[in-house]
Structure 1
Amino acid sequence: MFRSLALVVAMLTPTMLFADPLPTDPKLQKEYVVANYTKYEYRVPMRDGVKLFTAVYVPKDDAKKYPMLMNRTPYSVAPYGVENYRNSLGPSFAYAADKFIFVYQDVRGCWMSEGTFVNMRPIKHESSKDTDESTDTYDTVEWLVKNVPNNNGNVGQTGISYPGHYTAAGMIDAHPAMKACSPQAPVTDWFVGDDFHHNGCLFLPHGFNFLAGFGKPRPEPVRTPADRGRFDHGTPDGYEFFLNLGPLANADKKYFKGQVAFWNEMMEHGTYDEFWKAKNIRQHLKNVKPAVMTVGGWFDAENLFGALECYKNTEKGSPENKNNTLVMGPWDHGGWNRGDGSSLGNARFGSKTAEFYREKIELPFFKKHLKGEGEFAAPEAWVFESGTNVWRKYDAWPPKESKEMKYYFQEGSSLLPLDHRPGMLLGGVLSNQDEFVSDPAKPVPFIERTSTRMDYEYMTADQRFASRRPDVLVYQTPELTEDLTLAGPIDVELHVSTTGTDADWIVKVVDVFPADYPDADPNPAGVKMGGYQMLIRGEPFRGKFRNSFSKPEAFEPGKPTTIKFTMPDICHTFRPGHKLMVQVQSTWFPLLDRNPQTFCDIYHATEKDFVKATHTVYRSPSQVSGITVRLVK
């Protein structure tokens, strides 16, 4: 029965076999893959003799030659064995139907590949004997174009998150056959802005949960590594679990027991030292030759920073490359590669944005650069504007026509633009500061109902629960009378003091919906959207790094000082009747580890280091606190 079905499938073209749209049924997709592709497994030699396990799926139709599309991953190229096929090939099933040669490779030291795995292996190939992820990619491409049957000599690479990092590495000193790369949510810098740290603050549940499985040792090549499953927290309440954890040093003492090497490495590198600087791939994105399409999500809780920084540094370091494109949509981590992209949490985007991206942007990009097919002409930046829920094309990012506008914190929790500096409102200053007590024992939750994971939905979650707490400062504009479109990064300037010697500063930009805003239809969860406070962007900054991530400095109790940092870009329109709100707080738990508010090495802090402190935000004419945004008319 199956053999006869496979024979029929093999004889049909994708257009004849499937109606539009293409099927989502994994069974039907896999039947097509098995019938139309032959799987090979290779151990590809690197320049130092290490062999990397590589699975290659080649179209059975040899009437013409096909380009190769490669994904290098630390997460396994399973299933293993030439008789075992993946359910689908490529970023989406449309690629298998369109026909490419698909290459999947376990990176050095992972799963079935030889060698030693190094997290974010530094790029360093000063001599011909040096190896890194760039040279491993080069050596793989060199072998593939010579040994894989029926290839046309063109290679592309793509991947999301860690595989996105390997794609960015593959762009560096790329093999001449590498024609197109799409780093998607690429990891770029694990201390400054990606995954585990944001501006020196540890993203606790993400780092803990990821490394609890991924960080377990793998002494030799294996198909199914033992003990890499989900960590059992013993409770669904992440707030309770991580609060009970106590100081960070307890993670290894209580749970990891010395088995998670990279966690302990992180604990020994609490500043931006050479350990972290060497892993920063941004500095190497120079003279990139392949066409590049960097992809990210505006609401990506993991690697929003990485997507923006990969694009920006490629643009800066490769000015002669005229095919460097940024694509940003309203997605969580990898959301463009699954589902339809019409919503995230309680946010609705009015269309199937992920399907649009996959069909109209991603596949046409690879077809043009690897097959020479189609009339695809990418703009410099192809971004989704939430609020109005429309796609925008720009010839630069941030848009050249954007203009800076400063919004200042004011008396009475008000937020007013440039021509309303503090001290000019109502003819004088009524007060010039706001203060709150921050207690590490009762931190502000990052989402109203916390699980044990880093809930992706927090990026668009309702902030009303936070704005009503006494340890959260709130500033907001009057109701807007016309569209207010912000496109680009947001600069923060806070003039602050604390009774402690250290403090975190979390700033959130929020869209406040009108009281009569309609509920979603359908609305199975019964969420009321009237007055909803939708998080548009939130970012923390560890105060001791205010002058240098490498050389932390204590606060002098009671002495005002300045905190400046840049939040990742947004593209959002605040509609008429809405309000622009800014919230300021010092805890965001358990998303962030707790700052003891005593100047110390937080990764080795003890219980006695955690103290209450009173934090003050100043807003006088000489100490102006607020945000600077980029306006687009």
Structure 2
Amino acid sequence: MKNNTFKVIALILTITTLFSCKNNSTEFTQEKTNYVQENYNKIETTITMRDGAKLFTSIYTPKDTSKAYPILLQRTPYSTRPYGANKFKTRIAPNEHLMKEGNIVVYQDVRGRWMSEGTYDNMRAYIPNKKDSTFVDESSDTYDTIDWLVKNIENNNGNVGTWGISYPGFYSTYSTIDAHPALKAASPQASIADFYFDDFHHNGAFLLSYFRAVPLFGTPKDTPTDTAWYKIPDLKTKDQYQFFLDAGPLSNLDHFFEYEKLDNPALKNSENTSDFFWNELKEHPNYDEVWQSKGLIQHLKNVKTHVATMVVGGAFDAEDLYGPLETYKTIEKYNKDNYNTLVFGPWSHGQWASTKTKNSVGNYYFGDSISIKFQEQIETKFFNHFLKGSGNKNTGLPEAYVYDTGKKEWNSYNVWPPENSEKETFYLSDNQELTSKKGKEIGIQFISNIKKPVPYSEDIKTVFTPRKYMTDDQRFAARRSDVLVFETDFLDEEITISGEILAKLQVATTGTAADWIVKIIDVHPSDSKENNKDMQNHLKMSNYHLMVRSEVMRGKFRNSFTYPEPFIPNKKTAVNIKLQDIHHTFKKGHKLQIQVQSTWFPLIDLNPQTYVDNIFKAKEEDFKTQTHTVFTSSAIEFTVLK
């Protein structure tokens, strides 16, 4: 029993670490492990918000008090651990350089999480016009926190910066709205922007691969606690594909989200013991007022001009790809006088915070010291300029610093997407060809068997959140009859795609509902000399099908995410799918390939292929195998660098 308890504790710690992206807390030498305790004092306190709620805050101040320091603030739902004034993190600040050169570093448990008072609201909605002190949101909590810090922490220079990866990135973005005058710099990194397009949904499809993460955000709690109060579902198998296939409709999973008060001291005074996030997902399958109110993008039209922003994202971030790109673009569009930059590298979720030399995503190797150089030459320079330097816009940094994932090199641009780019259209055609000219229209059919959905990975394993699949070799999918493949000949010259991709499908189905998935693939030549000694043993770079971008559209949302509608059986219908930006060169001798399919399991949940208002409440008999048709009038619109 004791061993099982330790295993559960270890799993919870691992999961929290994954979501808070503390891959910047990698192993250190003994000297590095002791650095924070040797050079910083730690203060634990609570800061009272305008409505009286007390938020737990850990403050690390340099022992060298001979000069004033700026404040770096991270607000998090993932805990400010370790708790205890004599217990120290092994690493603080956005990176090791900012830690060692000296900054006041502050971590805060957000409202209703861990040791903070109040009620937690997942992606708490912004309140534009707060009538009195009872109207609070993450913007007001950040303002009140910064106000207290600059007035009460000794040796601060009056300048504050916020940063965070993933959910903490959401709070960093939030800090720029109605910002405190002392806030001079914010770096939202892998920032959630809207839970209907990040993490748990993609264009109306539920990300079933995040199923086990639901309790992390939705387990109720009514008292401060320094111990994890949520439990992660145990699937009792290493084969998640088979588990979810056997489980059937989503409603069969409800029992994972009912909690017993006796097992959870944090629930002792709670009237509700069901998972509020799971209920939210279930009861709001459409992009209704609940999700709309929680989105941040629509509130970034008036970011304060005194706040400089540096948005960071990973080209292969399986969790938050929409957020960083849309955050940058929206700030850029509506705040012309602001300092706003984008860094977009060859990373998975939060990988830029790693101190590892080798930079691989899954099986694919991009180079050495990519993350380390970002920390040294970009991130540190940004914060120092606005928090310790002149604070003007002459940072010496580019507007957009974007990694070409095909050439494996950084590029700097004055705008993003680059000015010297234009739209170019490729058409799907018979005989698996992808051509620049539109041919005669025919329909290509395939059977979408709900008993044998297309897997998103060939790996047989259960993961907490998906990462590796973003660069996976797609040959396993290309060889299935329910995946349509279209590709160019071997390229005579390179093509660099820089920006959004729009798939303009013309489709039909014998049913009344369907999902549509489009994948962009870089097919490497059979004589490829590239190699990665750490890739899976059964793979080689010869003919490697590198997935560089992919996306799903739940077909009933093709015209509106708020007002779904069924397909008319056998009627040709337009379905447009926006795929997020890439910056990738398809080299000479490679092929540009498109894959089109209708299932992607269990990355996304299984569509019944019969229209129902709410898939979370679909019944077994609603699920039907259907025949789908993709017409060769379908096109893929790229943004091509000239």
- Tell me if both proteins adopt one fold, taking TM over 0.5 as the criterion: yes
Partner of 2:34: 31
1:331 corresponds to 2:347: yes
- Among 319, 323, 331, the residue aligned to 1:302: 319
Letter in structure 2 aligned against 1:38: N
Please state how far the C-alpha of 1:24 moved relative to its aligned partner. 5.7
Please state how far the C-alpha of 1:233 moved relative to its aligned partner. 1.2
Letter in structure 1 aligned against 2:186: C
- Among 180, 193, 200, the residue aligned to 1:196: 200
Please state how far the C-alpha of 1:517 moved relative to its aligned partner. 1.1
1:448 corresponds to 2:466: no
Letter in structure 1 aligned against 2:620: E
- Among 90, 95, 98, the residue aligned to 1:92: 95
Q: Distance in 1 between matches of 2:137 and 2:542?
A: 52
Residues 469-488 of structure 1, C-alpha deviations (whole Å, 9 max, x = no match): 01000000000011110000
- Among 612, 616, 621, the residue aligned to 1:608: 621
- Among 136, 151, 154, the residue aligned to 2:156: 151
Residues 148-189 of structure 1, C-alpha deviations (whole Å, 9 max, x = no match): 111000000000010000000001010000000000011111
Please state how far the C-alpha of 1:378 moved relative to its aligned partner. 1.8
SS in structure 2 opposite 1:413?
Answer: coil
Partner of 2:104: 101
Partner of 1:433: 443
Q: Could you tell which deviates more after superposition, 239-248 or 492-501?
A: 239-248
Contact kept? 2:473, 2:546, Cα under 8 Å: yes
Q: Distance in 2 between matches of 1:407 and 1:33?
A: 55
Aligned residues: 595
Partner of 1:583: 595
Please state how far the C-alpha of 1:342 moved relative to its aligned partner. 1.8
How large is the Cα RMSD of the aligned pairs?
1.6
Partner of 2:502: 491
Q: Distance in 1 between matches of 2:250 and 2:535?
A: 39
Inter-CA distance 227–350: structure 2 relative to 1 (3 Å threshold): closer
Inter-CA distance 473–524: structure 2 relative to 1 (3 Å threshold): closer
Q: Distance in 1 between matches of 2:275 and 2:401?
A: 40
Letter in structure 2 aligned against 1:306: G
Of all paired residues, the percent bearing the same amino acid is: 48
Contact kept? 2:71, 2:103, Cα under 8 Å: yes
Structure 2: where are the runs of 5+ without partners? 1-24, 260-272
SS in structure 2 opposite 1:350?
Answer: strand
Q: Distance in 2 between matches of 1:414 and 1:121?
A: 47
Partner of 1:7: none
Residues 576-622 of structure 1, C-alpha deviations (whole Å, 9 max, x = no match): 11000000000000000000001002110000000011110112xxx
1:340 corresponds to 2:357: yes
Letter in structure 2 aligned against 1:434: I
Q: Could you tell which deviates more after superposition, 525-534 or 543-552?
A: 525-534
Q: Distance in 1 between matches of 2:409 and 2:230?
A: 45
Q: Distance in 2 between matches of 1:341 and 1:332?
A: 13
Letter in structure 2 aligned against 1:343: S
Q: Distance in 2 between matches of 1:605 and 1:555?
A: 17
Partner of 1:386: 405
Q: Distance in 1 between matches of 2:422 and 2:220?
A: 50
Q: Distance in 2 between matches of 1:175 and 1:379?
A: 26
Contact kept? 2:455, 2:602, Cα under 8 Å: yes
Letter in structure 2 aligned against 1:440: I
- Among 415, 432, 443, the residue aligned to 2:434: 415
1:627 corresponds to 2:636: yes
Structure 1: where are the runs of 5+ without partners? 1-21, 424-430
- Among 532, 541, 549, the residue aligned to 2:544: 532
Residues 227-262 of structure 1, C-alpha deviations (whole Å, 9 max, x = no match): 44x432101111011112211111113564663221
Letter in structure 2 aligned against 1:447: S
- Among 572, 587, 591, the residue aligned to 1:560: 572
Please state how far the C-alpha of 1:213 moved relative to its aligned partner. 3.6
SS in structure 1 opposite 2:431?
Answer: helix
Q: Distance in 2 between matches of 1:65 and 1:517?
A: 55
- Among 236, 242, 245, the residue aligned to 1:243: 245
Q: Distance in 2 between matches of 1:188 and 1:524?
A: 33
Q: Distance in 1 between matches of 2:171 and 2:532?
A: 41
- Among 480, 483, 500, the residue aligned to 2:491: 480
1:65 corresponds to 2:81: no
Please state how far the C-alpha of 1:317 moved relative to its aligned partner. 2.2
Aligned pairs for 1:367-382 (under 5 A) are: 367-372=384-389, 376-382=395-401
Residues 39-81 of structure 1, C-alpha deviations (whole Å, 9 max, x = no match): 1112101111111111100111111100000000000001111
Inter-CA distance 521–448: structure 2 relative to 1 (3 Å threshold): closer
Aligned pairs for 1:256-335 (under 5 A) are: 256=258, 259-288=274-303, 289=305, 290-321=307-338, 323-335=339-351
Q: Distance in 1 between matches of 2:631 and 2:174?
A: 44
Please state how far the C-alpha of 1:32 moved relative to its aligned partner. 1.8
Letter in structure 2 aligned against 1:242: F
- Among 368, 371, 375, the residue aligned to 1:354: 371
**TM-score under structure 1 normalisation?**
0.92
Q: Distance in 2 between matches of 1:572 and 1:357?
A: 19
Q: Distance in 2 between matches of 1:212 and 1:112?
A: 18
Q: Distance in 2 between matches of 1:510 and 1:524?
A: 18
Q: Distance in 2 between matches of 1:24 and 1:370?
A: 29
Inter-CA distance 341–269: structure 2 relative to 1 (3 Å threshold): farther
Inter-CA distance 367–282: structure 2 relative to 1 (3 Å threshold): same
Q: Could you tell which deviates more after superposition, 244-253 or 380-389?
A: 244-253
Partner of 1:124: 127
Inter-CA distance 26–158: structure 2 relative to 1 (3 Å threshold): farther
After TM superposition, which residue ranges in structure 1, 4 or more long, deviate above 6 angstroms?
A: none
Letter in structure 2 aligned against 1:326: L
Q: Distance in 2 between matches of 1:497 and 1:525?
A: 38
Letter in structure 2 aligned against 1:356: K
Please state how far the C-alpha of 1:94 moved relative to its aligned partner. 1.8
Contact kept? 2:314, 2:350, Cα under 8 Å: yes
SS in structure 2 opposite 1:219?
Answer: coil
Residues 325-377 of structure 1, C-alpha deviations (whole Å, 9 max, x = no match): 01000100001111335211121213321111111111111011101079742
Contact kept? 1:295, 1:328, Cα under 8 Å: yes
Letter in structure 2 aligned against 1:406: T
Q: Could you tell which deviates more after superposition, 41-50 or 349-358?
A: 349-358
- Among 76, 80, 84, the residue aligned to 2:83: 80
Contact kept? 1:440, 1:594, Cα under 8 Å: yes
Q: Distance in 2 between matches of 1:293 and 1:523?
A: 32
Q: Distance in 1 between matches of 2:216 and 2:301?
A: 34
Letter in structure 2 aligned against 1:522: K
Contact kept? 2:315, 2:321, Cα under 8 Å: yes
Residues 79-105 of structure 1, C-alpha deviations (whole Å, 9 max, x = no match): 111111111111222222110000000
- Among 145, 156, 166, the residue aligned to 1:140: 145
Partner of 1:462: 473
Partner of 1:4: none
- Among 561, 573, 584, the residue aligned to 1:549: 561
Residues 536-571 of structure 1, C-alpha deviations (whole Å, 9 max, x = no match): 001000000111101100111011110012110000
Q: Distance in 1 between matches of 2:617 and 2:226?
A: 37
Letter in structure 2 aligned against 1:346: N
Letter in structure 2 aligned against 1:150: N
Q: Distance in 2 between matches of 1:24 and 1:436?
A: 49
Letter in structure 1 aligned against 2:255: K
Please state how far the C-alpha of 1:530 moved relative to its aligned partner. 0.7
Q: Could you tell which deviates more after superposition, 123-132 or 159-168?
A: 123-132
Q: Distance in 2 between matches of 1:60 and 1:171?
A: 30
